[in-house]
Structure 1
């Protein structure tokens, strides 16, 4: 199946490094950063797992739960975590899914035959508390993810939801936001009493 933005993220039951998991139940009312990696004990994946662990407080501050996945076993994951902690100077506490039969990787289309027939590429799914898929990214096996962008994207989604606004290119926290064209000027006066800079009738910038 093709997973599209706005749809409910498929639920699953699986073994993880933190024990059995029912995905939707585990997610609860948090956002989820669900990401796959090709294999344990590989260099790029090790840096990504370490970076996720190093950013634990940043994810927690955003009410985000990280969840990793590869097609290795729980036993392999647990051995690898020791290596990740040692080489990346971190304390990896988030769960990693063991997807040895590839069922979840196939459900989420994480296996791209042009890259590998059995290993997952570097997929990212940002899932909101309603279990809806809000953002997807896919990186090739040889290129590690940009975690600044992952955090920025989460900030953007949460800001847009909280303020009924849109975000311009390269937006970062504190920058101006866009009042969407679907909001009339009369509605905008109530929603954005601070006013706005109207560059065009369809391009209204404001601070929040």
Structure 2
């Protein structure tokens, strides 16, 4: 199955480190970061889950829940969590899906045979409260993810959902934003962007972030 941006994320019920988990019900009205890792008791994955655990206060501020997945079983997850907490000096406060039958991995196309026919690659999905897929990033097995980028994208998505703006390259929360080309009427611009804007080019109109 191929998922594209704007698709409804598939619902599923699967075992996890916290018991049986029904995805849409568990997600509720939160944003979700769903990410797969190749295997328990592996070094890169251990650092990634430790980073995710330490980001819980930042996720909470943004109404985000984290959810990890691999094709290992529940017992393996529970034993590995102890290692993560010991080595990464944190508490794993989010579930890890035990996808031994690869049901969820198949739904989200997380197994890429040219990388591995048996384990999931490092896929990551940002899913909004309407259960729509808003971002898909896939990393190779050898490369750990940048979770600062995950937070940055969540900030951008939540900002652009609330205001008629777009975010430029390397944008971070608090930086100037861009007025989309779809907004043409000057009266509308004055009403929507009371802080004004500068336009180095007619198509490039830069305005202060509206909620700052």
Residue of structure 1 equivalent to 2:173:
173
In the other structure, the counterpart of 2:200 is 199
Residues 107-152 of structure 1: per-residue CA shift (max 9 Å, x gap): 1010000111010000000000110000010001111000111111
**Structure 1 Cα separation of the partners of residues 183 and 10 of structure 2:** 32
After superposition, the C-alpha distances for 1:147-181 in whole angstroms (9 at most, x for unaligned) are 11111111111111111210000000111000101
Match runs of 1:1-208 below 5 Å: 1-184=1-184, 185-207=186-208, 208=210
Q: Is the 8 A contact 1:102 1:118 kept in 2?
A: no
- Name which of structure 1's ranges 157-166 and 62-71 shifts more when overlaid on structure 2: 157-166
1:18 is displaced (CA, Å) by 1.1
Counterpart CA distance in 2 for 1:112 and 1:186 is: 50
Answer with 65-74 or 9-18: which moved more: 9-18
Tell me the distance in 2 between the aligned counterparts of 1:36 and 1:117: 15
SS of 1:16's equivalent in the other structure is: coil
- SS of the equivalent of 2:11 reads coil
CA distance in structure 1 between the aligned counterparts of 2:102 and 2:6, rounded to whole angstroms: 24
Deviates more, 1:52-61 or 1:185-194: 185-194
Three-state SS of the structure 2 residue aligned to 1:84 is: helix
| Whole-angstrom distance in 2 between the partners of 1:169 and 1:59 | 22
CA distance in 1 between partners of 2:110 and 2:84 (Å)? 22
Shift of 1:206: 0.3
Could you list the runs of 5+ residues in structure 2 that have no partner in the other structure?
none
Q: Which contiguous aligned blocks of 4+ residues in structure 1 show a shift greater than 4 angstroms?
A: none
CA separation in 2, counterparts of 1:192 and 1:74? 51
Q: TM-score, normalised by structure 2?
A: 0.96
What is the alpha-carbon distance in structure 1 between the residues aligned to residue 107 and residue 54 of structure 2?
29
| TM-fit CA distance, 1:186 | 2.4
Structure 1: tracts of 5 or more residues without a match: none
SS in 1 for 2:15: strand
